[in-house]
């Protein structure tokens, strides 16, 4: 039987505000436990939340960038449950009236464009963290993260494969990074994802029973966990079994999902409007102001890169997949205005070197866009060959030095002096009479042998174009 | 008269004239506490050493004629407002050891005005109750008759003012918790408009209903204290940025042109005849001062109690979740697991009435019941707001009883929470609508128990309340009568 996969994702993105959502504590990561706290985020008796306006502004940015309808009047609600990382015994979130609804993003997988609907975006506060003692039955509570602003982005069940899920996540990640409202670090938890997944016989409309997947802390893990779950559910269904609706935790070490204890998921959150916060009112003036401040978004940039720089769609897609990559490209292009050559180098040499678990992190690259451009200029002018260029690039990655310095230090400047080259060429021809004869009998392939000899003697520095010309002239 | 028997405004003059010092005044208050509080039991925590330091500082300012409006005035604070460094229990065992590291905004304002804080006074646990019998630190007794309740939940505040164990007090009112004990103890009690006074630092019972207000010996003190504590606070998003008028200037004799509405529903069956008689006498006096009266109707009054006992417990259940034994307050140390720690801490830390309301609130918000209870109650609330809007187009203020009966005997209703809930029927609607309401002493029952008259007005019309109350107070000979202890 053929099955169709149905996936919906819930993404939590921490917003990069300086202070927390309902108090003035800093959101700085990595401080000593419980140092970023005050009576408000500790949930002390009698304290009250006061909304950080920046959080609303950032949420509006994301809502506009994902084509959502803004709710001009939206409201915070309390989500009630007990856990030691939740000081008030409730999380301030949004429920009936979120800040935005009914949006979408377009994703592309294997050349096919799919539109993924966004059910809603809402603002909420993050919880703290528990640190469990591995030796004793004891847990510690760190409330530094408590009250860090989050937006939750909930998709429609429009995603049809684990690869689409990964593409959707990358798209949201790129938009958040472009907007500069989330640092997108999945390991540190500033960009988190839960998934709902079910299978149904192909062609059927109603959904199958779903499971919820948690604990996937990289794009790759999301895809792998979903792939695992597709297989698991398919096997059960093919066996005539039934899927149990439950929450599963992804175990990246063992490459499998495990059910969460049912006690931990049996919650009735008893949502109700938070009486401590007045409704959030957004007017047209504010909305317009935020719209004006939006940067160019991935899709607009992609279109412009095709149009303005003549890049192929594939190159443009990859180069604009992150704001940093696109900026890198544009900086290099200003110095060396040959876009296709830059994108070629970026997509091969640069990305091969910089590829990590979650894609390219160009901001850590030791080769600055200026230095890449200068290297390409040297190749373009014939100062070094393309091949030497790759050696120089490796050296640049290694040492972070600029290409001019490396070429000078290693004496890699291309030999383009006719008389110098001619001298060596004549020696080669004199030393290899048999090959000369073969060439003259029409075996032009022997040219490769001569060039090889020349490169060996010049340590690869001979200008290949000139060398070809000179060999041909001497062999006439 | 002893120093502690005077009002704030009388003492302002005496302190400014240096007839007495703030230290002498404070000592007189503590002498009175030592004399009667083992009978009245108004205080949970005394702050004597600190109070005397504050009084000495006040004296210095008074010498330099730099004192604020409350400079050197000893006040008692309901134990539900955070006082930095001074234990704040909300009448609950769960906060037996809680010492707040911050002041409530109202406490900051009192300190700026130069007040001396004598201590924290009794209340029903987390402000849940109408008799102050739900308190982990003993039950306060009515100074007018020690066998009677003093009302609740701000019972300690009302009792302390009535017994001259302080000059004035702050209470909080969620469904009548300032006005009803005020009425039962013959003191003036005002619940301001919702948003008039900051709630920051007030331990929340029901956030959309709670409001801090004064309990005082007369109307002038009420106006004076209200002025000090009112105003927008950026730490409370529900406080309102409305200018604070000089409430004292409202205290003018004569009520010409004032139209008083007499709400039919507030004089329904079950109203004690002696209360009815006292209120009618009060209304006659108000007419005598020049006011006109008109009968009006607030048709949804009857639903107020039902709506309140959904909304308040729903909010309370959530507000009280933070008392989980993790970060502060009481924790059961025997528990073996997290769940057991929660269960034991909260079962042992909270009293029965609090647990009852947490259960009601949890039920009302449960999945599948939200629409039938919480949502329906919110709709009733809107109807009550609309009732008031209509009525205030016909009249300026509403006059009625505060409580359908005078104070009852201690223990009389403790086994019947429902009849206790119904006793709040006349005070609850003002909280649901967020309007200001005041209780002013109006007479005594044949048993000698006080009876208060309630005045309600539209949002931010506290001046109208104070003016009417001032005229009534001037006409009656109730003010200045003291309980015999």
A90, B101: Cβ pair inside 8 Å? no
Cα separation, A146 vs A149, whole angstroms: 9
Task: State both tokens at A474.
Answer: 């001497």
Buried/exposed code over A168-207 (b: 16+ C-beta within 10 A; e: otherwise)? bbbbbbbbbbbbebbebebeeebbbbbbbbbbbeeeeeee
Distance (Å, rounded) from C-alpha A430 to C-alpha A436? 9
Say what the pTM is. Answer: 0.90
Mutate to test the interface with A, among B318, B330, B339, B362 (most CBs of A within 10 A): B318
Q: What is the pLDDT of residues B178-188, one digit of tens each?
A: 999 999 999 99
Residues of A in contact with B323 (CB under 8 A): 45
**Alpha helices (H) along B250-303:** 273-288
3-state helix, strand, coil in chain B (%, to 5): 40, 15, 45
Q: Determine the distance from the C-alpha atom of residue A245 to the mean position of all C-alpha atoms in its chain, rounded to a whole number.
A: 31
CB B341 within 8 A of CB B334: no
Task: Please compute the mean of the pLDDT values over residues B248-264 and round it to a whole number.
Answer: 97
Chain A contact probe: residue of B88, B107, B324, B369 with most A CBs at under 10 A: B324
B326–A51 CB contact, under 8 Å: no
B-chain residues near A272 (CB < 8 A): 314-315, 318, 365, 370, 374
Asked if B104's CB is within 8 angstroms of A276's CB, the reply is no
User: What is chain A's alpha carbon radius of gyration, rounded to the nearest angstrom?
Assistant: 29
pLDDT in the model for residue A387: 81
pLDDT in tens, B293-314: 999 999 999 999 999 999 999 9
Contact B9/B221 with Cβ under 8 angstroms?
Answer: yes
CB atoms within 10 A of CB B166: 29
φ, ψ of residue A202 to 5 degrees: the values are: -55, 135
Q: What is the per-residue pLDDT for A197?
A: 96
Residues of B in contact with A47 (CB under 8 A): 102, 200-201
Residues B471, B477, B479, B481, Cα dihedral to 10°: 180
> What's the pLDDT tens digit per position in B1-13?
899 999 999 999 9
Which residues of chain B does A43 touch, with a Cβ-Cβ cutoff of 8 Å? Answer: 322, 327
Task: Indicate yes or no: CB of B199 within 8 angstroms of CB of A48.
Answer: yes
Residue of A43, A48, A137 to mutate when probing chain B, most B C-beta within 10 A: A48
Q: How far is CA A265 from the centre of its chain?
A: 31
For tokens 């697991």, the residue is B337
Closest residue on chain B to A139 (Cα): B338
Which residues partner with B471 through β-bridges? Answer: none
First to last CA, chain B: 15
Instruction: Show residues of chain B in contact with A141, CB under 8 Å.
Output: 326-327
Question: A211 to chain B nearest CA, in Å?
Answer: 21
Distance of residue A310 Cα from the nearest chain B Cα, in angstroms: 53
Which positions in chain B touch A88 (Cβ < 8 Å)?
Answer: 321-322
CA–CA separation, A388 vs A410, rounded Å? 11
Q: Are A280 and A51 in contact (CB under 8 A)?
A: yes
Distance CA B29, CA B23 (A): 10
Give the other-Cβ count within 10 Å of A67's Cβ: 15
The residue of chain A with its CA nearest to that of B322 is: A88
B8-16 and B48-63 are packed helices; what angle lies between their axes, rounded to 10 degrees? 50
Residue B409 to residues A173, B37, B161, B181, B223: CA-CA distances in angstroms? 67, 19, 20, 14, 32
CA A251/CA A243 separation, integer angstroms: 20
Q: What are the structure tokens assigned to A341, written together?
A: 């050559």
Of A45, A275, A277, the CB nearest to B203: A45
Hey, what are B445's tokens?
Answer: 């029952």
More confident residue, A267 or B257: B257
The verdict on B359 touching A (C-beta cutoff 8 Å) is: no
Q: Are A94 and A76 in contact (CB under 8 A)?
A: yes
Q: What is the C-alpha separation between B99 and B78, in angstroms, rounded?
A: 15
Q: What is the mean pLDDT of chain B?
A: 96
Find the CB nearest A276 among B101, B207, B362. Answer: B207
**Which tens digit of pLDDT belongs to each residue from B157-172?**
999 999 999 999 999 9
Residue pair B108/B81 in contact by the 8 Å Cβ criterion: no
- Give dist(CA A388, CA A370) in Å, integer: 19
Helical axes A446-458 vs A464-474, angle rounded to 10°: 120
Distance, CA of B419 to CA of B404 (rounded, Å): 11
Say which of A46, A141, A271 has its CB closest to residue B104. Answer: A46
Q: What Å distances lie between residue B403 and A261, A358, B266, B426, B470, CA to CA?
A: 52, 68, 10, 6, 20
Return the residue in B200, B326, B343 with the most chain A beta carbons within 10 A, the one to mutate for interface testing.
Answer: B326
Q: Which of B95, B208, B321 sits opposite A275 (nearest CB)?
A: B208
Task: Tell me if B92 sits within 8 A of B124, measured CB to CB.
Answer: no
Q: Checking DSSP bridges between strand A139-142 and strand A149-155, what pairing results, if any?
A: unpaired
Q: Residues of A with CB below 8 A from B199's CB?
A: 48
pLDDT at A366: 84
Ramachandran quadrant class, B25 (left: phi over 0; alpha: psi -120 to 50; beta: rest): alpha
pLDDT band at B466 (very low <50, low <70, confident <90, very high): very high
Backbone angles phi, psi at A310, to 5 degrees: 65, 25
| Residue-level pLDDT, tens digit, chain A, 476 residues | 789 999 999 999 999 999 999 999 999 988 999 999 999 999 999 999 999 999 999 999 999 999 999 999 999 999 999 999 999 999 999 999 999 999 999 998 888 999 999 999 999 999 999 998 888 878 899 999 999 999 999 999 999 999 999 999 999 999 999 999 999 888 888 999 999 999 999 989 999 999 999 989 888 899 999 999 999 999 999 999 999 998 999 998 888 888 887 655 567 899 999 999 999 999 999 999 999 999 999 889 999 999 999 898 888 988 898 888 899 999 999 999 989 888 988 888 888 777 765 566 777 788 889 988 888 888 888 778 788 888 888 888 888 888 888 877 777 777 777 888 888 888 898 888 888 888 888 888 888 888 888 888 887 778 888 888 888 888 87
Per DSSP, B214 falls in state: E
DSSP classification of residue B230: B
Q: Å from B20 to nearest chain A CA?
A: 36
Residues on chain B touching A268 (C-beta within 8 angstroms): 366-367
Do A174 and A206 touch, CB atoms closer than 8 A? no
- Asked whether the beta carbons of A26 and A224 are under 8 A apart, the reply is no
CB contact under 8 A, B237 and A51: yes
Distance (Å) from the alpha carbon of A45 to chain B's nearest alpha carbon? 5
B197 in A contact zone (CB under 8 Å): no
Neighbouring-strand partners of residue A154: A10, A120
d(CA A392, CA A403): 6
Interface of A with B (CB under 8 A): 39, 42-51, 78, 80, 82, 84, 87-90, 141, 268, 270-272, 275-278
Instruction: Report the gap between the CA of B358 and the closest CA in chain A (Å).
Output: 13
Name the residue facing A50 among B101, B104, B237 (closest C-beta). Answer: B237
- Which one, of A279, A351, A352, lies nearest residue A322 by Cα? A351
Calculate the alpha carbon distances from A450 to A418, A432, A436 in Å.
16, 9, 9
Estimate to the nearest angstrom the gap between the alpha carbon of A224 and the chain centroid. Answer: 17
Enter the DSSP assignment of A19: B
Look at A272-281, B325-334, B391-400, B462-471 and tell me which has the smallest mean pLDDT.
B325-334
Map residue A42 onto helix, strand or coil.
coil
% of chain B beyond a pLDDT of 90: 94
Residues from chain A that touch B95, judged by Cβ atoms under 8 A, are 45
Nearest to B124 by CA among B171, B86, B169: B171
Distance, in angstroms, between B317 CA and closest chain A CA?
9
Mark yes or no for CB contact A46/B200 under 8 Å: yes
Of A39, A43, A48, the CB nearest to B236: A48
Q: Which of A89, A272, A275 sits opposite B321 (nearest CB)?
A: A89
- Write the residue in A44, A48, A80 that is nearest to B237 by C-beta: A48
Interface test with B, best of A45, A142, A263, A275 (most B CBs within 10 A): A45
Pairing relationship of beta strands A272-273 and A256-259 according to DSSP bridges: unpaired
CA distance A395 to chain B (A): 55
Q: Which residue has the tokens 């001497």?
A: A474
Cis bond upstream, residue B153 (ω within 30): yes
Query: What average pLDDT does this structure show over B461-467?
Result: 98
Chain A / chain B CB contacts < 8 angstroms:
101
Cross-chain Cβ contact A50/B234 below 8 Å: yes
In chain B, domain spans? 3-252, 303-376
**In this complex, is the C-beta atom of B393 within 8 Å of any C-beta atom belonging to chain A?**
no
Task: Tell me how far CA of residue A21 lies from CA of A77, A93, A125, A145, A318, in angstroms.
Answer: 14, 11, 7, 11, 34
The span from the first CA to the last CA of chain A, in angstroms, equals: 71
Sign of CA dihedral A294, A295, A301, A305: positive
Q: Which fold has domain B3-252?
A: Amidase signature (AS) enzymes (3.90.1300)
In B, minimum Cα distance to A51 occurs at B237
From A276's Cα to the closest Cα of chain B, the distance in A is 6
Q: If you search the block for the tokens 């939200």, which residue do you land on?
A: B370
Task: Say which of B82, B88, B237 has its CB closest to residue A277.
Answer: B237
- Identify the weakest region by mean pLDDT among A241-245, B96-100, B417-421: B417-421
Residue positions counted in chain A: 476
Q: Which residue has the tokens 């090889």?
A: A452
Residues of B labelled as active-site residues: 78, 153, 177
Assigned CATH for A418-475: 1.10.10.410
What does the alpha-carbon distance between residue B454 and residue A392 come to, in Å, rounded to a whole number?
Answer: 89
- Sequential DSSP letters for A232-274: HHHHHHHTT------EEEEETTTTEEEEPPHHHH------EE-
Phi/psi at A185 (5° precision): -85, 105
Q: How far is B376 from chain A (nearest CA, A)?
A: 13
> According to the model, what pLDDT value does residue B419 have?
81
Sign of CA dihedral A345, A348, A354, A360: positive
Length of chain B counted residue by residue = 485
């Amino acid at each position: 039987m053929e099955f169709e996969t149905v996936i919906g994702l819930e993404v939590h993105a921490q917003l990069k505000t300086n202070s927390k959502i309902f108090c003035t504590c800093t959101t700085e990561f990595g401080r000593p436990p419980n140092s970023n706290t005050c009576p408000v985020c500790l949930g002390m008796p009698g304290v009250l939340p006061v909304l950080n306006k920046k959080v609303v502004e950032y949420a509006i940015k994301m809502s506009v960038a994902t084509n959502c309808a803004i709710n001009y009047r939206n409201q915070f609600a309390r989500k009630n449950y007990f856990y030691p990382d939740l000081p008030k015994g409730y999380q301030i979130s949004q429920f009936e009236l979120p800040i935005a609804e009914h949006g979408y993003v377009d994703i592309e997988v294997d050349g096919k464009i799919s539109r993924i609907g966004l059910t809603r975006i809402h603002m909420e506060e993050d919880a703290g963290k528990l640190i469990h003692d591995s030796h004793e039955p004891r847990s510690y509570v760190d409330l530094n993260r408590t009250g860090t602003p989050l937006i939750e982005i909930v998709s429609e069940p429009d995603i049809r494969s684990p690869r689409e899920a990964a593409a959707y996540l990358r798209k949201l990640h790129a938009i958040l990074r472009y907007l500069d409202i989330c640092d997108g670090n999945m390991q540190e938890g500033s960009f988190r994802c839960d998934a709902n997944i079910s299978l149904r016989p192909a062609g059927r409309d109603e959904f199958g029973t779903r499971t919820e997947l948690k604990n996937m802390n990289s794009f790759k893990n999301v895809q792998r966990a979903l792939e695992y779950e597709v297989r698991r559910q398919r096997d059960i269904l093919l066996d005539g079994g039934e899927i149990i609706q439950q929450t599963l935790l992804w175990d990246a070490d063992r490459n499998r999902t495990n059910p969460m204890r049912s006690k931990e998921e049996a919650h009735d959150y008893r949502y109700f409007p938070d009486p401590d916060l007045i409704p959030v009112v957004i007017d047209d003036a504010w909305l317009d102001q935020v719209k004006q401040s939006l940067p160019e978004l991935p899709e607009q940039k992609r279109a412009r890169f095709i149009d303005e720089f003549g890049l192929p769609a594939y190159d443009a897609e990859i180069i604009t997949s992150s704001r940093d990559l696109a900026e890198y490209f544009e900086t290099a292009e200003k110095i060396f205005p040959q876009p296709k050559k830059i994108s070629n180098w970026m997509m091969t040499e640069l990305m091969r070197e910089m590829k990590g678990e979650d894609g390219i992190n160009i901001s850590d690259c030791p080769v600055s866009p200026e230095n890449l451009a200068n290297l390409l200029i040297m190749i373009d002018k014939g100062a070094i060959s393309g091949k030497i260029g790759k050696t120089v690039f490796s050296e640049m990655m290694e040492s972070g030095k600029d290409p001019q310095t490396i070429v000078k230090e290693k004496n890699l400047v291309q030999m383009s002096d006719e008389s110098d080259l001619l001298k060596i060429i004549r020696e080669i021809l004199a030393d290899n009479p048999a090959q000369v004869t073969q060439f003259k009998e029409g075996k032009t392939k022997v040219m490769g042998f001569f060039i090889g000899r020349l490169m060996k003697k010049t340590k690869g520095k001979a200008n290949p174009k000139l060398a070809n010309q000179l060999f041909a002239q001497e062999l006439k | 008269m002893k120093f502690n028997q005077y009002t704030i405004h009388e003492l302002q003059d005496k302190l400014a004239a240096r007839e007495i010092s703030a230290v002498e005044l404070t000592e007189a208050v503590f002498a009175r506490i030592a004399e009667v509080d083992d009978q009245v039991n108004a205080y949970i925590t005394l702050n004597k050493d600190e109070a005397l330091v504050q009084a000495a500082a006040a004296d210095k300012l008074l010498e330099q004629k730099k004192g604020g409006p409350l400079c050197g005035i000893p006040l008692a604070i309901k134990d539900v407002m955070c006082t930095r460094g001074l234990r704040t229990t909300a009448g609950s065992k769960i906060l037996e050891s809680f010492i707040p590291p911050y002041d409530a905004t109202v406490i900051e304002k009192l300190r700026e005005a130069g007040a001396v804080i004598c201590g924290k006074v009794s209340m029903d646990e987390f402000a849940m109750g109408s008799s102050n019998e739900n308190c982990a630190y003993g039950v306060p007794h009515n100074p007018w008759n020690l066998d009677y309740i003093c009302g609740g939940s701000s019972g300690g505040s009302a009792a302390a003012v009535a017994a001259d164990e302080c000059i004035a007090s702050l209470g909080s009112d969620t469904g009548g918790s300032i006005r009803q004990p005020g009425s039962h103890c013959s003191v003036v009690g005002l619940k301001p408009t919702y948003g008039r006074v900051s709630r920051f630092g007030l331990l929340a019972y029901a956030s959309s209903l709670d409001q801090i207000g004064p309990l005082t010996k007369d109307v002038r003190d009420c106006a004076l204290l209200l002025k000090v504590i009112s105003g927008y606070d950026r730490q409370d998003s529900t406080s309102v940025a409305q200018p604070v008028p000089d409430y004292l200037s409202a205290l003018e004799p004569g009520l010409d042109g004032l139209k008083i509405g007499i709400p039919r529903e507030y004089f329904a069956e079950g109203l004690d005849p002696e209360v009815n008689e006292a209120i009618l006498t009060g209304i006659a006096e108000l007419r005598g001062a020049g006011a006109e009266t008109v009968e009006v109707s607030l048709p949804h009054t009857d639903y107020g109690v039902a709506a309140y006992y959904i909304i308040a417990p729903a909010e309370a259940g959530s507000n009280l979740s933070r008392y989980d034994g993790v970060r502060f307050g009481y924790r059961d140390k025997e528990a073996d697991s997290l769940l057991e720690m929660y269960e034991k801490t909260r079962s042992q830390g909270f009293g029965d009435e609090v647990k009852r309301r947490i259960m009601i609130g949890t039920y009302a918000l449960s999945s599948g019941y939200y629409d039938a209870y919480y949502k329906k109650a919110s709709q009733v609330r809107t109807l009550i707001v609309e009732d008031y809007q209509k009525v205030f187009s016909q009249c300026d203020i509403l006059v009625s009883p505060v409580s359908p009966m005078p104070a009852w005997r201690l223990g009389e209703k403790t086994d019947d929470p429902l009849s206790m809930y119904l006793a709040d029927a006349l005070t609850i609607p003002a909280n649901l609508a967020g309007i200001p309401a005041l209780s002013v002493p109006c007479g005594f029952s044949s048993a000698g128990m006080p009876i208060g008259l309630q005045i309600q007005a539209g949002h931010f019309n506290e001046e109208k309340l104070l003016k009417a109350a001032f005229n009534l107070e001037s006409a009656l000979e109730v003010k200045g009568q003291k309980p015999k202890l």
